Chain A
Amino acid sequence: MKEERIQYRKLPGRLRGILRGASVWQGPDHLLLVQSVRFREEYRRFYFKDVQAIAVAKAPRFYVSARALLPLIAVPFLAAYLIARPSSSLVMILPILIALLLGAWVIVASQFSCRCRIYTAVSSEELPSVSRSWTARRFLARVEPIISAAQGTVDGDWAQRVDDRWWAEGRAVAVGPSGSQFAEALQGETAAPVNPASGRRMGVVGICFAAALLLSAAFDFLTLNHPAAWTRAVPLWFAVAKIVAASFIFIRYDRSRVSSRLRALAIAALVVMGLLFYAGQIRTSVQAEITKSKTVRVDTSGMVTAPVLRGVEAGADVLLGLLAVIVVLRGERS
Chain B
Amino acid sequence: MPIPCARCQMPLPKWEFRSGTTATCPSCMSPNTVSVFPALLQQQAPALPEAALAGEACCYDHPTKRAVAACSQCGRFICQLCSVDFAGETWCPSCVAAGAGRAREARADTSRTLYDSIVLAIPLLSLVFWPLLVLTGPATVILAVMKWKQPLSLVRRSRWRFLVGSVLGILTSAACVWLFVYLAMSGRNAK
Contacts and interface: CB of A to CB of B under 8 A. Distances in A.
B154 A52 contact: no
B110 A43 contact: yes
Given A159-B15, A302-B131, A43 B108 contact: yes
A116 interface: yes
A321 to B, nearest CB: 21
Interface residues of B, number: 53
A140 B35 CA distance: 8
Interface stretch (A80-88, A117-125, A190-198, A218-226): A117-125
A1 B101 CA distance: 13
Contacts of B35: 53-55, 140, 144
Given A41-B154, A177-B9, A124 B4 contact: yes
Contacts of B117: 39
B2 A173 contact: yes
Contact of B155 (A8, A115, A173, A243): A8
Contacts of B115: 39
Contacts of A34: 153-155
Contacts of B129: 273-274, 277, 302
A25 B155 contact: yes
A52 B40 contact: yes
Interface residues of A, number: 73
Contacts of B33: 55-57, 136, 140
B22 to A, nearest CB: 10
Interface stretch (B24-32, B47-55, B76-84): B24-32
Interface string A158-177: 11111101100100011111
A305 to B, nearest CB: 14
Interface in A132-159: 136, 140, 144, 147-148, 151-154, 157-159
Residue in B5, B7, B31, B153 with the greatest tally of chain A CB atoms within 10 Å: B7
Contacts of B12: 55
15 contacts: A32-B154, A36-B114, A39-B118, A40-B112, A45-B108, A50-B39, A56-B6, A117-B6, A119-B3, A154-B38, A159-B17, A162-B2, A243-B135, A254-B113, A302-B129
Given A120-B39, A159-B18, 7 more contacts: A36-B114, A40-B114, A41-B111, A55-B3, A158-B17, A160-B18, A178-B1
Interface of A: 1, 3-4, 6, 8, 10, 23, 25, 32, 34, 36, 39-45, 49-59, 114-117, 119-121, 124, 126, 136, 140, 144, 147-148, 151-154, 157-163, 165-166, 169, 173-178, 181, 236, 240, 243, 254, 273-274, 277, 301-302
